[in-house]
A and B are shown apart, each in its own frame.
Chain A
Amino acid sequence: MKKGKKWLAAIMAAAMAMSLTACGGSSASNQSAAGTAAAADTKATAAGGKTVITLWHAMGGVNGEATEALVKAFNESQNEIEVKSEYQGNYDDLITKLKAAMQSGNMPDVCQMYDIGTKFMTDSGYAIPVQDMFKTTNFDPSSVMNIITSYYTVDGKQMSMPFNVSTPMLYYNKDVFKAAGLDPDTPPKTFDEVLEYSKKIVESKAAPVGYAQAIYGWFFEQQIAGQGKYYANNENGRKAPATEVDFVNNGSGLKIFETWKKLMDSGYAANYGSTTADTQTAFFSGQTAMIIESTAILKNATASSNFEIGTGYLPKIEENADGGVIIGGASLWMMDNKDDARKNAAWKFIEYSTTPDSQANWSMSTGYFAINPAAYETTAMKDFIAKNPNFVTAINQLKSSPVNGYTAGVLSGVATESRKIFNEAMEKTYDGTYTPQEAVNYLAEKVNAAITNYNSSTK
């Protein structure tokens, strides 16, 4: 019996040890093992004579299919490099995984990263700026639209290659416009007009709601750029790291909160919360006549709606010559694995992704912009645009936006946090807890604290 007891205790202890090792962290042996893993990876690369590189992406659904198609086309276009593409969850999952991979030395060679991860990637020190690679293949940087690369340019250097690019625009229900006696070919251009149109739509009972937009920090950033103003100081953090927000001092923030609050209080607009899919659903199902959404949903919107869709430029708070839209989406980053063969291979893949044909296929199957203007000259793309006239709105809006520090967008290490704080401030403005002025002050105070915190952690 005593023997049995000891046995049991031993097994129990083993069980305990198992759960404890699973919980504890041992950093002492990290480095050496990470080194071995990296060495093993290099060996795998050399096998078969081809340079094998890994691409991490966050593209699901049809976008995922298009990414796989691009990789396949590249692998078939030559026989020296093989790209293995790996889906790593959505944008947030991907950045979590990449952060862990940076610590363990298991980074991919090419990694997709969303727009607001640009500052993190730059500060991480693990990225190779794509601009450093231009010379190796005589890449012509002007083959990519300037307004798109400006977002990914830090300290005058292009850090990454834009991959999936979109901007917000206005979507409206042409059938409802007709029923309300509005011209279905002239969408509203300013928020004053949005209010006026919404009033007509609701009063004529053409649709229950005139206008809706998700509570989304991206739209706030867009309206600051639309007014030709900076979000943060030091020219949106691009001349030097931003130390505080600028939208309080330049007055752009207050104007936005006041405009949106007025719109929502009129009773002609509705708030469907911070999940963009909910606002989309309200539009697709005919509940609301107008919404603001990414240009990338055009394909899905056309397929989902039982009515004719019209598109227009993003409505403005006020006319301004310097104002325009900021691009969003994600870009491809080169990760430094200290291996020249893989580095060059990674760049060749990225370069391939910018060719007119690649971009035309990518744009047609996903609905994102083609970053290379030459793509719009291909026959396939011309046919596509002829069949999808709404796509022209998106392209023209982007082309008509001036390239400057305002439309380059804010470069911030705390963008995710700032957008969360914005959601809070906006919700509290809609429900009347805060006046627009209080909301702007609250937002500025919280974002400034986050920026200070970030800056002190990266020093």
Chain B
Amino acid sequence: MNNKVVKYLLYILNIIFAIVIISPVIYCFNVSMMTMKEVFAGGFWSRQVMLDNYKKALQLAPFFTFIKNSLIVSCTVTFGQIVTGALAAYAFSMMKFRGRNALFLLMLATMMIPSQAIIIANYLIICDLGLKNTYTALIIPNAASAFAVFNMRQAFLQLPIEIKEAADIDGCGNFRFFYSIALPLVKPAMGALGIYIFLQSWNHYLWPLLVTDSVNMRTVQIGLGMLQGAESTDFRPVMAGSMIILIPSILAFVLGQKQLISGLTSGSVKG
């Protein structure tokens, strides 16, 4: 009986936290429906359902093009980082070769370099290669990251070394072991990493702004910038734009989360 009370109390607490966390998003949604004077009148709810601000946002910036571009870039970047990260991490955790730790440390050291410090150098390289204003320019510099390698290595290190030894004895090669045994076991880590990389890439602003010039190559965050004025901003189209670009990132999270849970259960059975 007592357990049940605790359970319901926890539920209530959960709901309260959920409301606190989601209320800014709801307010953002409400503002996207408000009239100019309503915004500053201080109310939380909008008095009407109005799509004017969405029309205005779409008129000021072609959000559907931006979403398409962002999806192409973010999905490729996520795929690239997981592939390169998992392969490199496998080598760093499961294989023994000379200079392994030194290489790993060297790679970790690159995480200490702030991205702002190298962004101009990267821009110059992209210009040299003639890749300005292309998807390649948006993707390549982010297709591999030390963080992904580090993250995946931690996941591989969680696996008992006995599995690897058993595989070795049975004559299972590195590729087969990597693909059929190790990867399925670290699926949850991959799911979490995937969501993280996707959202990070989705939120990139300065890099896409630097390497793209034409409006049809731009990504969503620049779209939001296009709605803001220099001295004062009408926040309603900004909120409408935010709602539009929020949808794909929510989808990414929902899809990734499903992977994450299925990964957890399948891992527990096999492990």
Contacts and interface: CB of A to CB of B under 8 A. Distances in A.
Do chains A and B interact in one complex? yes
A90 B124 contact: no
Q: Which bracket fits the contact residues of A?
A: 35 or more
A64 B226 contact: yes
Given A90-B225, A97-B210, A5 B232 contact: no
A87 interface: yes
Contacts of A26: 125, 128
Interface string A1-45: 100110111011001101111111111011001101100100000
Given A22-B140, A104-B123, A300 B232 contact: yes
B33 interface: no
Contacts of B141: 22
Contacts of A364: none
B230 A59 contact: yes
Contacts of A58: 230
Nearest to B142: A22
Interface in B88-135: 88, 90-92, 95, 97, 103, 107, 110, 113, 118, 120-125, 127-130, 132
Interface in A120-137: none
A260 interface: no
B226 A86 contact: no
Given A8-B87, A25-B125, A301-B232, A1 B174 contact: yes
Interface of B, secondary structure class, is helix
B37 A12 contact: no
A8 B91 contact: yes
10 contacts: A8-B174, A15-B144, A19-B84, A23-B113, A37-B132, A63-B229, A100-B210, A105-B127, A285-B41, A306-B41
Given A22-B141, A61-B233, 19 more contacts: A15-B84, A15-B149, A18-B144, A19-B146, A22-B122, A25-B118, A30-B124, A34-B128, A37-B130, A60-B226, A61-B234, A62-B234, A91-B230, A93-B209, A104-B128, A166-B231, A306-B41, A329-B230, A330-B230
- Enumerate the 10 nearest inter-chain pairs by beta-carbon distance, A residue then B residue, closest first: A25-B121, A33-B128, A15-B84, A284-B40, A297-B232, A61-B229, A4-B174, A104-B127, A12-B91, A19-B144
Interface of B: 36-37, 39-42, 60, 84-85, 87-88, 90-92, 95, 97, 103, 107, 110, 113, 118, 120-125, 127-130, 132, 140-146, 149, 168, 171, 173-175, 178, 205-206, 209-210, 213-215, 222, 225-234, 237
